[in-house]
Amino acid sequence: MKIKDIHRVYFIGIGGIGMSALARYFKFIGKEVAGYDKTETPLTIELSDHDISVHYKDDLELVPKPFLNPEETLVVYTPAVKSTHSEYQYFLRNDFVIKKRSEVLGLITKDSFCFAVAGTHGKTTTSSILAHLLRETGTPLTAFLGGISEDFNSNFLLEGTEYSVVEADEFDRSFLRLSPNVACITSMDADHLDIYGNAQELQKSFLDFVARIKPGGKLFVRKGLPLNGITYGIEDDSDYCIRNLKIEHGTYIFDLGTPEGTFIGVRFNKPGRHNLLNGLVAFAMAIQAGSPPYRLAEALASFKGVQRRFSYRIKNEDFVLIDDYAHHPTEIDAVYDAIVEMHPNKRILAIFQPHLFSRTKDFGDDFAKSLSKFPSVLLLEIYPAREEPMEGIDAAWLMGKMTNAQTKVVEKGDLVSEIKAQNPEVLVMMGAGDIGLEIMKVTKELEYAH
């Protein structure tokens, strides 16, 4: 099926961050779009505001009738949807063209110059910085992002079709549907072991992804990863390197060494060295579109960020509230390092909602070690997402592994009272589940108190 032959697109799981971006793309190019999701969110409300029909009950009667024509409708689903879903089963039995989100991304981007950002951490921030840099330098691009960019207040950007920016997601081996011209790999830490079984299989999938880069294409890899490619790093001998790094008023200032020359006094405002590395590889990739390096260096300074990626919800002299998507031990470590670098000697309280029973079980010891770095921690119950509960695996089980005495398991409704009782100078709320909705409530309660 070619994009031009599609009249209607129906999404099962339309409210996902990646799925909603695809829905907006098809609506933008003139297709009829509708979909199902199990809960209403700000993303689904925004889709409805764009005349996209969304319903929240698995019921074929709620699917708009024109979408029940298999000759004119493409069905897109997310792997998070169970195979027993009745709408999915109907489309399967009635010979509809059904594709995963990753397959559709492959279709859309195959005729463009495709930038693909891969890695177990940093995909969304890196791809958002890359989209920002290309946009600032006038590159005609389409970008599908896994988060809401604060620079264009969306997870989707369409300013041309010559270039495309996508996240190459390792979950369910989705990135093996892409054939990029330029790719990067930010990290290869063990994750998604419910899919891969072990870290070796995960690493093998990254090698398979590298093999999909088009002939003559380029691969950028963080220095130290077991891959051959153009390297990037901080204060080392990488091909693209940050040197003479310092911090002034919460802003990184550094020299940027590249094969194209050295750029002095480059500025980047997003805290955390992990974010600095994301900005560096985005800069290196953007050069491949022919953008002038000096203009890209200037554009790095104006990048605002991505929602829920070390986002300041409140930032006063006496109190800071940070919102972050961190849901893996390595990401929690990066958040901790960024906090102590930017806010040294402050009283810190961390609130964490584990994501997935399987991930919590697989990395329980690592989660405990990472979280125990914080002087005080509040744990919410595990967010199940696509999983059923596992016997014995819960927040109390994780707390039992931690070495920090200042740890409690709390209910969502008790968060504000617990925070006020501890009176932290820096509060960070982390997780990939519905903690994002709780942060909005906490921010509303606390912003008037500070």
SS (H, E, C) the chain: CCHHHCCEEEEECCCCHHHHHHHHHHHHCCCEEEEECCCCCHHHHHHHHCCCEEECCCCHHHCCHHHHCCCCEEEEECCCCCCCCHHHHHHHHCCCEEEEHHHHHHHHHCCCEEEEEECCCCHHHHHHHHHHHHHHCCCCEEEEEEEEECCCCEEEEECCCCEEEEEECCHHHHHHHCCCCEEEECCCCCCCHHHHCCHHHHHHHHHHHHCCCCCCCEEEEECCCCCCCEEEEECCCCCEEEEEEEEECCEEEEEEEECCEEEEEEEECCCCHHHHHHHHHHHHHHHHHCCCHHHHHHHHCCCCCECCCCEEEEECCCCEEEEECCCCHHHHHHHHHHHHHHCCCCCEEEEECCECHHHHHHCHHHHHHHHCCCCCEEECCCECCCCCCCCCCCHHHHHCCCCCCCEEECCHHHHHHHHHHHCCCEEEEECCCCHHHHHHHHHHHHCCCC
Q: Is 122 marked within a binding site?
A: yes
Q: Is 124 marked within a binding site?
A: yes
Q: Is 7 marked within a binding site?
A: no
Q: Is 41 marked within a binding site?
A: no
Q: Is 16 marked within a binding site?
A: no
Residue with tokens 């799981």: 13
* Nearest by Cα to 310 from 346, 288, 284, 336: 336
Q: Is 119 marked within a binding site?
A: yes
Q: Is 100 marked within a binding site?
A: no
Annotated binding site: 119-125
Annotated binding site for ATP: 119-125
